[in-house]
A and B are shown apart, each in its own frame.
Chain A
């Protein structure tokens, strides 16, 4: 069983969910960008934008890793998800430390945008996800 692909993939639902999360992130982006620029100036704008991009890329990358690994095997899925978690955190840390070293990072708007969008988008998305065998993934009537 472990060497066999799990599914043949009309069930790659995580990609659809990640795309939907990214779409919703673009809807809420102006609010955070405006708050960033009004409160902290250009640095705030850039920091909020960076946080939004990181959240979206994090979702898309996570979904891509799961989809790719699921086509290989169960063992690959387990390893890829845990390895992907560490790799995504490392990537995020490297990007943010680089921007901070350049001196463009306003930490407060970055922190607020990162946490609020990540959790908020997930909570929002949860309302549009169908947990049924008939329609795994997004609700058909969302």
Chain B
């Protein structure tokens, strides 16, 4: 492993580190929206279970909430694409 590292030039090392950073950043950026979507859906399900007659309204709100939350993951995705060598 150390031999391989010793044989790589500084430029290659930098590119590799950039790729690792981009991947890590994307993964970390996807965690927040995952938690957010879980919260949105969990609360929507509670609402639908309590008041099934309002399911349509709740699903409308849930869909928009999921889509807005997903925008955070898309920001992470865009940064990943921009950083990727």
Please list the residues of chain A having a beta carbon within 8 angstroms of any beta carbon in chain B: 1, 6-7, 10-14, 17-18, 58-59, 62-63, 66, 70, 74, 77-78, 81-82, 85-86, 89, 92-93, 96, 100, 105, 107-108, 110-111, 114-115, 118-119, 122, 125-126, 129-133, 136-137
Binary CB contact string for chain B from 56 to 75 against chain A (1 if under 8 A, 0 otherwise): 11011111101110110111
Query: Are A77 and B41 in touch, CB under 8 angstroms?
Result: yes
By a CB distance below 8 angstroms, the chain A residues around B67 are 59, 62, 118, 122
Please list the residues of chain B having a beta carbon within 8 angstroms of any beta carbon in chain A: 26, 30, 33-34, 37-38, 41-42, 45, 48-49, 52-57, 59-64, 66-68, 70-71, 73-75, 77-78, 80-82, 84
Query: Are B60 and A7 in touch, CB under 8 angstroms?
Result: no
Question: In the complex, which residue of chain B has the Cβ closest to the Cβ of A130?
Answer: B60
Question: In the complex, which residue of chain B has the Cβ closest to the Cβ of A11?
Answer: B56
Query: Are A137 and B56 in touch, CB under 8 angstroms?
Result: yes
Question: Of A17, A78, A100, A122, which contacts B42 at CB under 8 A?
Answer: A78
Interface of B is mostly: helix
Query: Are A133 and B54 in touch, CB under 8 angstroms?
Result: yes
- For residue A140, give the distance in angstroms from its CB to the closest CB of chain B: 13
28 A-B residue pairings within 8 Å (CB atoms)? A6-B52, A7-B56, A11-B56, A13-B56, A13-B63, A17-B64, A62-B63, A62-B67, A63-B63, A78-B41, A81-B41, A81-B66, A92-B77, A100-B81, A111-B78, A111-B81, A114-B77, A115-B71, A115-B78, A118-B67, A118-B70, A118-B71, A122-B64, A122-B67, A126-B64, A131-B57, A131-B60, A136-B59
By a CB distance below 8 angstroms, the chain B residues around A115 are 71, 74-75, 78
Query: Are A85 and B34 in touch, CB under 8 angstroms?
Result: yes
CA distance A108 to B82 in the complex (A): 8
Question: Of B33, B71, B77, B81, which contacts A85 at CB under 8 A?
Answer: B33
If A111-B82, A114-B74 touch, whether A74 touches B60 (CB-CB below 8 Å) is no
